[in-house]
Amino acid sequence: MQIGLTLRAGLVSLLLFGALLAVWHIAIGGSEPAVKMDPEYAKLMGATATQGKSAMPGPADVAAKIWQHLRDPFYDRGTNDKGIGIQLAFSIARVLTGYLIAVAVAIPIGFLIGMSPLMSRALDPFIQIMKPISPLAWMPLALYTIKDSGISAIFVIFICSVWPMLINTAFGVATVRREWLNVAKTLEMSPARTAWRVIMPAAAPTILTGMRISIGIAWLVIVAAEMLVGGTGIGYFVWNEWNNLSITNVITAILFIGVVGMLLDQLMARLQRMVAYAD
Amino acid sequence: MSFDNPLDAERPLHANGCNCGQHLTQADHDLATTGSSDARLSRVVESAVVRAVFPDDTTRRTFLRAVGAATALAAISQFFPLGRAMEAFAQTGAPEKKDIKVGFIPITCATPIIMAHPMGYYRKHGLNVEVVKTAGWAVIRDKTLNKEYDAAHMLSPMPLAITLGVGSSSVPFTMPAVENINGQAITLAIKHKDRRDAKDWKGFKFAVPFDYSMHNYLLRYYLAEHGLDPDTDIQIRAIPPPEMVANLRADNIDGFLAPDPVNQRAVYDGVGFIHVLSKEIWDRHPCCAFAASREFVTQTPNTYAALLKAIIDATAFATKPENRKQIAEAIAPANYLNQPTTVVEQVLTGTFADGLGNVRNVPDRIDFDPFPWQSFAIWIMTQMKRWGQIKGEVDYASVAQQVFLATDTAKLMKEVGLAPPDTTSKTFVVMGKTFDPAKPEDYIKSFAIKRAA
């Protein structure tokens, strides 16, 4: 029955995908007959103007574009034109740097907050105010004060991904079961050993949940940040193709962003399963 | 033109044909007669010096007619060692810094800065330049202020605004070369094709690339001349050029005064038509500029000189109409402008579709001339004041002189122990009205629609 369900779900997914493609194909088709134009003039105009072609590409156009990018993902034709593989690598490197700094900051502070109700109350207003700020709002401030666009992008990743981890760590640490702490006390464990051997494993699933939310946010933020600072990365790629009004490339990039985001999330999900335990 | 012979009394002041009659334009004539880039360089230096000595065209002509070119040159050389100035400029030492970064915005205004890369002008002058595409004017300003870029493509009002501390912290900035003249246009959405009179535009929403841009000032000027108050009758927003066509298609705006290739791209995609070219508002107006901080200029003078020479060299190549196709092919790829070649070609060659079914032929739709006339700076500041961007007293001439370096010559003159002359100014006509750089305040007062008191 289990296998049957997976199989059926897969089938439904495929059907939905097919239906989506069909609707997409039909929606952009039906181009009007060409407007009568002086051939001299028509030569100077684009296909949307001369053949009434929709500005929106069809599924076949996008598939061809994806294939073209996959065939040669690492080309380098100068500072402003690099393959999609290189752009993704730049983005992932930036995300991981900002994210790892956030992990290094959020988990110790989260522990502190979780173990001390006083700190928890005291820091709460700051966290609540800082948490909902959009990455784009940080950008001008970062550029102006840090004076380096690369570091600014990493800072924005850091500042946006730190909060979910901080909150989850604090929550996880604060809700470790009393009995377990009491047992540790009875066994005369040192506070450091208690933190490492009791609280850490007990809070790990909650912490990992925070980390999983954070990596998703970091990946959301990078695209916006790179569109703003430019240079390299998948966000710059989207901006550059928007500049050229190449919707085909923009859709391609969106798909790549989605796939990479999913892979990062799956990676965290796997880690999460490793630390999961049953009560 | 600053490549022409400043010692020629008969040189026409307007660019219709050349003075010997055998070439299509003065640019052709000059390049045919001057030839090599060294000769061109000395011509630029000569030009700047002679213009500095005789800011007024009439005086220069009278003087040259009276004494003849050779005598004039000899006379000037007596109190200003032209030869030494040229030498100083031509034989600067090795660049202090070889690897430099120059930022640009992907528009055709940046042509000299961009083309110097694929066409090898930077390499020729011993520099390893990386040209970096940047997302918007605010970012390019911040990255240049941060010193991530050594020099950058800016809108010509930006170095003035930065120096004056308007809209950013005040940092002394310089603008040693104008990149392009003309090359902008007012584009309207196709649905407005029967509303060609600006008087009917009340309630329109327009886009310009940046608040401190020639586009903003030219659009405001154009609207005000048609009796519309650009602050109350019209909405003007700053939208980065790449987003303009998308916004026009989405019906968010009714039109824009934008740099090319954005105008031509709107036509190419069938969403807009070109209402007027900016040259029809003010012929030979400056637009974008090559800018660097004063610190870069003073701390690495040889690098700066090599960079400026590469750009002057590239600009000279771009002035030749027959080279424009080749340039279009060099700068259209994804690494630079990322536009269809035909769009860039239509902009640069001036044979273009106007969006209403006509093919127009305007060879000087965009042109390139590096000479940073200080009167341009003064005009820009009058408009900043007219629209309330700057308030109070402005020392027009001295800011213009500090920022618009019409004047590596001035610098060289100081080096050889001479006081540089006041300004290198000229009068010009904007929509039929003459601008006298000597009387900026009177000029502001003469407008009916303005914000300044």
pTM of the model: 0.76
User: Is the Cβ pair A230, B133 closer than 8 Å?
Assistant: yes
Mutate to test the interface with A, among B119, B123, B148 (most CBs of A within 10 A): B148
Query: Looking at the complex, does the CB of residue A49 fall below 8 Å from at least one CB of chain B?
Result: yes
Asked whether residue B16 carries a pLDDT value surpassing 80, the answer given is: no
A-chain CB neighbours of B147 within 8 Å are 147
Q: What is the mean pLDDT of residues B239-263?
A: 87
pLDDT tier, B59 (very low <50, low <70, confident <90, very high otherwise):
low
Asked whether residue A265 carries a pLDDT value surpassing 90, the answer given is: yes
User: Is the Cβ pair A46, B138 closer than 8 Å?
Assistant: no
What CATH code would you report for A84-275? 1.10.3720.10
Rounded to whole angstroms, the Cα distance separating B404 from B381 reads: 12
B-chain CB neighbours of A37 within 8 Å are 357
User: Is the Cβ pair B135, A227 closer than 8 Å?
Assistant: yes
Name the residue with higher pLDDT: B409 or A36. Answer: A36
Residues counted in chain B: 453
Q: Are B308 and B297 in contact (CB under 8 A)?
A: no
Q: What is the mean pLDDT of residues A201-218?
A: 91
Domain segments of chain A: what residues? Answer: 84-275
Mutate to test the interface with B, among A90, A152, A240, A245 (most CBs of B within 10 A): A245
Q: Are A107 and A169 in contact (CB under 8 A)?
A: yes
User: Is the Cβ pair A230, B135 closer than 8 Å?
Assistant: yes
CA distance A114 to chain B (A): 40
Q: Are A138 and A158 in contact (CB under 8 A)?
A: no
Query: Looking at the complex, does the CB of residue B270 fall below 8 Å from at least one CB of chain A?
Result: yes
Lowest mean pLDDT across A3-12, A67-76, B75-84: B75-84
pLDDT tier, B424 (very low <50, low <70, confident <90, very high otherwise):
low
B99-181+286-337+368-445 and B183-280 have identical folds: yes
User: Is the Cβ pair B139, A231 closer than 8 Å?
Assistant: no
pLDDT tier, A11 (very low <50, low <70, confident <90, very high otherwise):
very high
Peptide bond into A164 cis (omega under 30): no
User: Is the Cβ pair A229, B139 closer than 8 Å?
Assistant: yes
Query: Nearest-5° angle of CA B200, CA B206, CA B211?
Result: 135
**DSSP 8-state class, residue A78:** S
Query: Looking at the complex, does the CB of residue B246 fall below 8 Å from at least one CB of chain A?
Result: yes
CA distance B114 to chain A (A): 12
User: Is the Cβ pair A45, B267 closer than 8 Å?
Assistant: yes
The answer for residues whose C-beta is within 8 angstroms of residue B152's C-beta and 6 or more apart is B102, B103, B104, B134, B140, B143, B144, B290, B291, B292
A-chain CB neighbours of B334 within 8 Å are 77, 80-81, 240, 244
Q: Residue A232: phi, psi to the nearest 5?
A: -140, 170
B-chain CB neighbours of A231 within 8 Å are 132-133
What CATH code would you report for B99-181+286-337+368-445? 3.40.190.10
Pick from B142, B242, B359: which is nearest to A40 by CB? B359
Residues of A numbered 149-168 whose beta carbons fall under 8 angstroms of chain B's beta carbons: which are they?
Answer: 149
pLDDT tier, B44 (very low <50, low <70, confident <90, very high otherwise):
low
Q: Which string of DSSP letters, residue by residue, matches A237-255?
A: HHHHHHHTT-HHHHHHHHH
Residue B111: which of B340, B368, B292, B361 has the closest Cα?
A: B368
Pick from A40, A48, A149: which is nearest to B143 by CB? A149
* Beta strands at B255-259 and B205-208: parallel, antiparallel or unpaired: parallel
Mutate to test the interface with B, among A72, A79, A90, A243 (most CBs of B within 10 A): A243
pLDDT tier, B143 (very low <50, low <70, confident <90, very high otherwise):
confident
Query: Looking at the complex, does the CB of residue B346 fall below 8 Å from at least one CB of chain A?
Result: yes
* Beta strands at B173-178 and B151-155: parallel, antiparallel or unpaired: unpaired
Reported ipTM: the value is 0.73
Query: Looking at the complex, does the CB of residue B334 fall below 8 Å from at least one CB of chain A?
Result: yes
B-chain CB neighbours of A243 within 8 Å are 106, 242, 338
User: Is the Cβ pair A81, B334 closer than 8 Å?
Assistant: yes
pLDDT at residue B273 in the model? 92
pLDDT tier, B88 (very low <50, low <70, confident <90, very high otherwise):
very low
Rounded to whole angstroms, the Cα distance separating B236 from B211 reads: 9
Instruction: Report the CATH superfamily, name and number, of domain B183-280.
Output: Periplasmic binding protein-like II (3.40.190.10)
pLDDT tens digits, A68-92: 888 887 887 777 778 888 889 999 9
A150 to chain B: nearest residue by CA? Answer: B148
Domain segments of chain B: what residues? Answer: 26-90, 99-181+286-337+368-445, 183-280
**DSSP 8-state class, residue B404:** B
